Amino acid sequence: MIEINEAVRAFIDKTAGDTELSEDEYIDHSDGLIHCKKCGGRRQTILPDSLRHSYLMPRCVCPCQQEAEKQRKAAEEQRALMESIRRRRAQGLQDRYLHDFTFANDNGQNPLMEKARAYVENWKEAYRENTGLLLFGDVGTGKSFFAGCIANALIDQDVPVLMTNIPSILNRLTGMFAEDRAAFISALDDYSLLILDDLGVERNTEYALEQMFLVIDSRSRSRKPLIVTTNLKLEEIKNPPALAHARIYDRIMERCAPVLFSGRNFWEEKAAATKEAARGIVSPK
């Protein structure tokens, strides 16, 4: 935009009739250029055309058009983010019930859940330092819920997380060729966080143990965090029954901080509450 002196203004007024105005535009008497009826801002500018010793009067966007474009872009980015999160959840939490393992659904009964929240808050550091968790303790003490809450909260931040278990992985590997198995296992390391739920329930065949070792060893070499939940006792993990187990548990203990779940069985409590509620429904009035 150049300064509008008398000569420039004469040029503008001479040219003004050439451009067609849309309904929300007018020629402003102050500078003779096209303005926006909504915000009054310029929709046209004037520049020197040194080649032809004349002027150019190209269109430009007024402030309200700029603002509308900014909002359109922001809405588009938000939509893309929501779509990405939706895809990550569908891909990373294939068992639908895991979608409900969220901090919003936490009943506040388990004080350990503070640790899950802290892990999410410190995620960047956990990722950088490759710090995982080993959640161990009795059945039904909320280990999977704990891990699922971390998974959902990180997915909400668009972090790629996979929560699965060894039997599912073995199922997927069945019938694959060796190189496809290797590719599948190494693809698990594309996820920033891998959660292996319920380790130790799988059948301890030589094949199963070998695949389990490959998954955990590959994860360990990727230097990305791993969270494991297991009903095994810490004693069993520290003193494994055989070498095949020992090298798996060694890898886990190297990078996963142990968290003991004990005491109240949350599933039993939930089942009792459900039973109580059902009693009310099915008993005659």
Least Cβ distance, residue 38 to Zn ion (angstroms): 4
- At residue 136, φ and ψ (nearest 5 deg) are -130, 160
Using CB under 5 A, list all residues that contact Zn ion: 36, 38-39, 41, 62, 64
- CA distance to 3, 25, 151, 223, per residue, from 55 (Å): 12, 22, 60, 61
Least Cβ distance, residue 89 to Zn ion (angstroms): 40
Q: Which residue number, 65 or 222, has a Cβ lying nearer to Zn ion?
A: 65
Tell me which residue of 268, 199, 263 sits closest to 236, measured CA to CA: 199
Q: Which residue number, 27 or 39, has a Cβ lying nearer to Zn ion?
A: 39
Q: Which residue number, 24 or 250, has a Cβ lying nearer to Zn ion?
A: 24
What number of H helices and E strands is found in the chain?
11, 9
Q: Which residue number, 35 or 251, has a Cβ lying nearer to Zn ion?
A: 35
Least Cβ distance, residue 30 to Zn ion (angstroms): 16
How many angstroms separate the CA atoms of 221 and 217, rounded?
6
Least Cβ distance, residue 33 to Zn ion (angstroms): 13
158: helix, strand or coil: coil
Least Cβ distance, residue 77 to Zn ion (angstroms): 23
Least Cβ distance, residue 143 to Zn ion (angstroms): 57
How many angstroms separate the CA atoms of 156 and 93, rounded?
12
Question: Which residues fall within 8 angstroms of residue 273, CB to CB, at 6 or more apart?
Answer: none
How many angstroms separate the CA atoms of 206 and 212, rounded?
10
Q: Which residue number, 67 or 129, has a Cβ lying nearer to Zn ion?
A: 67
Q: Which residue number, 28 or 156, has a Cβ lying nearer to Zn ion?
A: 28
How many angstroms separate the CA atoms of 175 and 275, rounded?
43
193, two tokens: 């966080």
Which single residue brings its beta carbon nearest to Zn ion?
A: 36
